[in-house]
Structure 1
Amino acid sequence: TSVDIPVKVTYPDGSSEETPAKVTVVPNDAQDNTPGYEEGRTKPNVPVTVPQTGDTTIPPGSQYEIPTGGVPEGWTAEVD
């Protein structure tokens, strides 16, 4: 989305004029990316790896974590 914002410039001699400043808002990283995971299956006490299969161009420095309360009681999970 782009918008022209008027900017009024007043000079030392008292004269003034308006000029537009164009501002464009681009999507943030969360709006521009769609990570996703395929389904994983395992048995009790057997580790399973579930690869991220969504966008392959996630920005460098992005952090992955499991939110508090996101793992059922008695289960363990980690993001590697």
Structure 2
Amino acid sequence: MHTALKVGAWVTVGKNCDMKYVAHNHDDIDFVFGNRSDSFEFAFNEHSLTRFVALATRALTDAKTMREAEDEAESAQL
């Protein structure tokens, strides 16, 4: 498995982006975004994936809170 973060690109994942994962074993879990001709892949081990899921859960909570605040502000202007 990978010992350090290696970055080679900046990526945006759109709402309709194809996503899949392949679990080779507990130490090699791959997430693939996009299609065969245009894809980006993350490789995690079990521990780093657990940490990422916790981080993503907090980010999703924050995003929902921001959307709700924006919706309330928009409703107040009507």
Task: Report the TM range for the smaller structure's normalisation.
Answer: under 0.3
Tell me which protein shows more helix as a share of its residues: 2
Whose Rg is larger? Answer: 1
Structure richer in strand, relative to its length:
2
